[in-house]
Amino acid sequence: MIGLSMKHLRYFESLARHRHFGRAAEDCSISQPALSVQIKELEELIGAPLVERGRRQIHLTGLGEVFADRAGAILRSVDELADLARSTQGPLSGRLRIGVIPTVAPYLLPDIMKAITARYPLVDARPREAITQKLIEDLVDGKLDVAIVALPISEASLEEVPLFEEEFVLVRPIEDADKPVPSADMLKQMRLLLLEEGHCFREQALSFCNIPSAPPRDLMEGSSLSTLVQMVGAGIGVTLIPHMAIDIEAHRANVSVSHLADPKPTRTIGIVWRHSTPLAAQFGQIIEIIRGLGMEKQNCRTTRIGT
C-alpha cells in the first residue's frame, strides 16, 4: 500500500492499546493533534474508518480490531529483525526491556540494574514493574524482552528458566516474637493479611494455608508488601513475605520475623522470554547475574529473624 509507513503502524498500535488519543500521544511522544492527523491519514490510505471517535473514549471498528492485530504482528517482527542484528554484535548491547513482578522489584531490581550496567555498559536497560498477568501479556505482544516472575507460567510461546528458590517467612507483631510459630492450619484461624487480587504471591500464600482462592471476607488485603508489614506492626494481623523482603520491610516496622516449619512454603523465581527472540543466546549473560544476586539474597540472614 503506497504511503503506509511504520510510523502509521506504531501510532495506530499505541492508540489501539490505550484506546485513548491523549495517552497514546504521550506514549508516542507526540502531541494529540499530531496523532489524530496521523490516524486520519492512515484511514484515508486504508480507505475505511478504523476508529469510532466518542467524546470521552474511542472504539475500534471491526476492521480496526483486525488491523490492530496485524499491525502488532508486523511491529513485533520488525523489532525481532533489529534484535537479530544485535545478536551478532558480540556482548549484550542496546535496549533491554525487563519486566519484574512487584514482590521482587523493590528488593532485587536495583542490584540487577547496577550489575547489568557495570558489566554491559552498552545496554540501555528499561525496567517495568507490573503484576504477572500484565508482564506476560506485554512479553507476548513484544513490549518486553524478558520478565522476572514466579514460575511456572505455562505459556506455550515463552521459554522459562528457573533462577532460584525462595522461602516465605512469617511476619508477626513484635510482642508475638517468643510465641510458638503457628502451623499452616493455625494460620487459617488468624487474621491473615494478603496482597490484593492479581498478585501471584497472594495465591501462593493462600495455597500454603489451604485457603480457597476466594477467601473469607475477614481476611484483609493490601496493595504492597510494605503496607502489609506496616499493618502487622500496628497489631492488625500477620502476613507472609518472601525472604528477600526481610531486610527492607522488617526494619521499617515493629515486627518479628520467623521461619515456618517444614515443609516450608517456597516459590521459584525465574526468567521468561519469547521462543522467537533472536536474543535468547545472549540472555544467558543476564541469567548468571540475576541468579547470583538472588542466591546472595537467600543466603543473607537478618538479626530480627527467629526460628
Q: Which residues of 230-267 are buried (b: 16+ CB within 10 A; e: fewer)?
A: bbbbeeebbbbbbbbbbeebbeebebbbbebeeeebeb
State the pTM of this model: 0.74
pLDDT score of 295:
87
What domains appear along the chain, each with residue ranges and CATH number? 6-85 (1.10.10.10), 94-307 (3.40.190.290)
Q: What Rg do the C-alpha atoms of the chain give, in angstroms?
A: 23
pLDDT tens digits, 250-307: 888 889 999 998 888 999 999 999 988 888 888 888 899 999 998 888 776 543 454 4
Residues 224, 209: Cα–Cα separation, whole Å: 20
Cis peptide bond N-terminal to 152, omega within 30: yes
Q: Which residues of the chain have pLDDT under 70?
A: 1-2, 82-91, 213-219, 300-307
Length, in residues, of the chain: 307
- E strand or H helix at 99: strand 94-100
